């Protein structure tokens, strides 16, 4: 009996949640700022998803992201860390990604641009950052984001608008600084 239950749960996991592991990992990484922390957070969230019973969620992705987010904030409030992305780590990741690509001047520029974007997103206050990540990276609808963040849709809208505005300001400032330096 327990075996059957295990198999059913495994099937449910594979069907509903396993496809969204990448999304959960990305969200955890943007919230914690660290790949190692993100792995722990996702592991914890998956264990909870695995153990959950009851009706199937209509949006398994939003559901998994919601428990991932809760696991991330619980963990961060415990360790007092978070909201700080290790720039060293970001640079290492970028080098890894760039090593796979052919070299060219424009490529260096694109890499720098991508690094600037990552840094700007990492520097965004957490409430704005999670809204932007859920919408623009994970492609959730306003309704799904409102459910994940447990907020009214109007608040989701204004956080998104403010978050994007701040990102654009940061990117514009960075571009201006680069011009001055060049």
Partner 1 sequence: MRATPADCGRFADLLDALADEELAPGMAAALRDHLAACPACAAEAAAIGALRAELATLRDEAAPEALRQRLAAMLRDDAPTTATPDRRRLLALTAAGVGGIAIGAGGFGLLHDSRPETIAHDLLTAHARALLAGAPPQIASGNTHQVRPWLSAHLPVAPRVPETEDFPLLGARLDLIGRRPAAAILYRRRAHAITVFATAEDLAQDWPSRPMTRNGFQLLPWVADGIRYVAVSDLNPGELAMLAERIRAPGP
Binders of partner 1 in range 95-154 (CB under 8 A)? 98, 101-102, 104-107, 109-111, 113-114, 117-118, 121, 132, 135-139, 141-144, 146-148, 150-154
Which residue has 């190692």 as its token pair? 36
Within residues 21-40, the interface with partner 1 by CB under 8 A covers: 21-22, 24-26, 29, 35, 39
Comparing CB distances to partner 1, the nearer of 88 and 105 is 105
Comparing CB distances to partner 1, the nearer of 64 and 76 is 64
According to DSSP, residue 14 is labeled I
Evaluated on CA atoms 34, 40, 43, 44, the torsion sign reads: negative
SS3 of 27, please? helix
Q: Can you say how many angstroms the Cα of residue 146 is from the centroid of all Cα atoms in its chain?
A: 16
Smallest distance, Å, CB 165 to partner 1?
9
Number of residues that bind partner 1 (CB under 8 A): 76
Site stretch for partner 1 (CB under 8 A), options 48-56, 75-83, 84-92: 48-56
Within residues 70-89, the interface with partner 1 by CB under 8 A covers: 70
What tokens does 80 get? Answer: 């007092």
Comparing CB distances to partner 1, the nearer of 35 and 82 is 35
- Short-list 171, 57, 58, CA closest to 123: 171
Rounded Cα distance, 156 and 92, in Å: 32
């Amino acid at each position: 009996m327990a075996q059957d239950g295990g198999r059913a749960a495994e099937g449910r996991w594979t069907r509903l949640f396993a496809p969204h592991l990448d999304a959960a990992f990305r969200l955890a990484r943007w919230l914690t700022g660290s790949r190692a922390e993100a792995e722990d957070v996702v592991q914890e969230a998956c264990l909870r998803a695995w153990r959950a019973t009851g009706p199937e969620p209509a949006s398994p992705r939003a559901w998994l992201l919601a428990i991932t987010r809760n696991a991330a904030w619980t963990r961060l409030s415990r360790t007092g860390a978070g909201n700080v992305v290790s720039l060293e780590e970001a640079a290492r990741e970028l080098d890894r990604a760039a090593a796979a690509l052919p070299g060219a001047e424009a490529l260096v520029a694109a890499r720098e641009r991508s690094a600037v974007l990552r840094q700007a997103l990492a520097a965004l206050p957490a409430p704005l950052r999670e809204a932007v990540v859920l919408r623009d990276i994970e492609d959730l609808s306003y309704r799904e984001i409102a459910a994940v963040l447990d907020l009214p849709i109007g608040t989701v809208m204004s956080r998104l608008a403010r978050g994007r505005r701040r990102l654009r300001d940061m990117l514009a400032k960075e571009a201006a600084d680069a011009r001055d330096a060049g």
